[in-house]
Structure 1
Amino acid sequence: MPGASRRKRRVRASLVLVTGLALILTALPVSALAGTALPRGFVYLRDADPTIVQDIRYAGSHNFVGRPVKGYLAAECILSDRAATALKAVQNTLAEKKLSLIVWDCYRPRRAVDDFLQWSKDPAHAEMKAEFYPRTDKQKLFALGYLATRSAHSRGSTVDLGIVPSPFSLPPRNPVLALKACTLPKGERFEDGTIDLGTGYDCLDGMGNTSNASVGEAALRNRQLLKSTMAKAGFRPYAREWWHFELVNEPFSQGFDFEVSPSSNGRPAR
């Protein structure tokens, strides 16, 4: 029958289309499949290595601003594909020592950088000073090099991170606890679960300088471990902040301003 023949042809055409689409999707790189909303060349870190612990501070209120930062709609680490691959190599090296990376910030939208700038000019908001910059004038944070009007984070290959034991679970955060100076010794400052690295993350103070001897020998050894392991994977450190690393061979020279949004696969970050 002519009608039946046409239906069979349509069915065959549909099967060919579906099969072809499946082959195309299979051939696509991780950067195209992991997060369909991301620009080409970017990935969600947990799609590259789900074992790396994430505690994305600027998506919440436990940071030097004291609130979620503009542009952070999800607690997700987004990086260039190249940077994520390099971090995976670091993680593999640390795993041999029963250690793991913990990332606190990755790609940072330009609007977040602008948010920091406006916050630094507002003397009315210093709610988190006692913990994150107890001895530093917030209006001098840019001049002192702790913040930048054009952040390398916006290029997608810069990360803020530390080292934690493996296996690891994030310590519970009690929002009613009093703030404790990030410069206090391990066990007295906020407990982020890291090995002793001398200060807390985002400690905008001279003690955060990578080679500051006042943090003690154990913390200096741990900082050197982090520095050397990251360097072997192609990252360079920043002398003022032991937690800050930039990929030397980064793929993008310009900054981006897309939002940090949830992954389309819906899996929560660790």
Structure 2
Amino acid sequence: MRNVREDCVVVIDTLQNISPDLYEEWDPENELAAAEETVNYSDDSSDFVLLSEAVPDAILEIRYYSTYNFVGDRIEGYEEPVALLTKEAAAALLEVSEELKEKGYRLKIYDAYRPQMAVTNFVEWAEDTDDTRMKEFFYPDLEKDVLFPQGYIAEHSGHSRGSTVDLTLFDMETEKELDMGGTFDFFGELSHPDYKDITEEQFNNRMILRDAMLEHGFRPLETEWWHFTLDDEPYPDTYFTFPVSSESVSE
């Protein structure tokens, strides 16, 4: 198992809220109900591409292929440490990459397309309340039995529709990730993009990423600073089931 480290957050109270209408409205109960009413499953990967080819400057750190994630194990369906997206989402992400590269940044990808089997893995993990191996790193302020009812874990994920990406920024000068004031997949208010109790620099770093993603057609999520979905996603009602691997998109 990989070594893990705690992220240190410098807390000050200097930032102002930004308008919530800039963010994707998220109600886990409504989202789940809508998914159950309209869900279609598909194993057709013909409209997906490898991000390593579509966005060659992106750095990949696929957390669900590793054991450094909130589960503590490699997640089902992640057969290789690669990232897949629909062609439309990948093309828009390339525009983001090119814009930010001019400012000295590269994109670092944590997750992109997520197969339904991985989401099912999350649900099964959430139901096992005795397994709290990664609590101190990802949900220190929450009991595990609230993760599902509070919407941190759900039976369907927008990632399975193929046009959602989790990412951060990598500074090419310092050769380090930008300090976002909180780690990827941390469950809590610290992960909200407009969270106030971080430094001004950390907040501004979040906004660099957010502004670039919005400029090129992605919408943010009000509960996760790293999460963005292509606004005009091509498969809004389809949840894909093929595994994350290069073979899934090979011709």
> TM-score range, shorter-chain basis?
0.7 to 0.9
- Taking structure 1 as the reference length, the TM-score comes to 0.73
2:92 is the alignment partner of 1:81: no
Report the secondary structure of 1:160's partner residue: strand
Q: CA deviation at 1:144?
A: 2.4
2:230 is the alignment partner of 1:247: yes
2:217 is the alignment partner of 1:234: yes
Q: CA deviation at 1:82?
A: 0.5
Contact residue 76 and residue 121 of structure 2 kept, 8 A: yes
2:32 is the alignment partner of 1:49: no
Provide the residue aligned with 2:70 in structure 1: 64
The one of 140, 151, 154 equivalent to 2:146 is 140
1:124-153, Cα deviation, whole Å (9 max, x unpaired): 211111111111122222332323221000
Contact residue 62 and residue 109 of structure 2 kept, 8 A: yes
Counterpart residue type for residue 77 of structure 1? A
Q: Distance in 1 between matches of 2:145 and 2:228?
A: 24
- Structure with the largest fraction of helix: 1
Counterpart residue type for residue 117 of structure 2? R
Considering only aligned residues, what root-mean-square deviation do their CA atoms show, in Å? 1.9
Q: Distance in 1 between matches of 2:152 and 2:46?
A: 30
* Structure 2: gaps of 5 or more residues: 1-42
Q: Distance in 1 between matches of 2:215 and 2:232?
A: 13
The one of 161, 182, 195 equivalent to 1:212 is 195
Q: CA deviation at 1:217?
A: 1.0
2:240 is the alignment partner of 1:256: yes
CA pair 265-245 structure 1, distance change in 2 beyond 3 A: closer
Counting only pairs closer than 5 Å after superposition, residues 10-29 of structure 1 correspond to structure 2 as none
Q: Distance in 1 between matches of 2:170 and 2:187?
A: 21
Provide the residue aligned with 2:22 in structure 1: none
CA pair 145-210 structure 1, distance change in 2 beyond 3 A: farther
Counterpart residue type for residue 222 of structure 1? N
Provide the residue aligned with 2:131 in structure 1: 125
Q: Distance in 2 between matches of 1:264 and 1:121?
A: 30
- Structure with the largest fraction of strand: 2
1:57-76, Cα deviation, whole Å (9 max, x unpaired): 00110100001001111111
Q: Relative contact order, CA 8 A, sep 6+: which one is greater? A: 2
Counterpart residue type for residue 257 of structure 1? T
1:70-99, Cα deviation, whole Å (9 max, x unpaired): 111111100000011111000001101110
Question: Number of matched residues?
Answer: 207
Contact residue 46 and residue 249 of structure 2 kept, 8 A: no
1:3-49, Cα deviation, whole Å (9 max, x unpaired): xxxxxxxxxxxxxxxxxxxxxxxxxxxxxxxxxx9711100011112
Contact residue 142 and residue 149 of structure 1 kept, 8 A: no
**Which protein shows a greater Rg?**
1
- Taking structure 2 as the reference length, the TM-score comes to 0.78
Q: Distance in 2 between matches of 1:80 and 1:97?
A: 26
Percent sequence identity over aligned pairs = 38
Q: Distance in 2 between matches of 1:86 and 1:150?
A: 24
Q: Distance in 2 between matches of 1:151 and 1:265?
A: 21
Contact residue 242 and residue 248 of structure 2 kept, 8 A: no
Contact residue 145 and residue 240 of structure 1 kept, 8 A: no
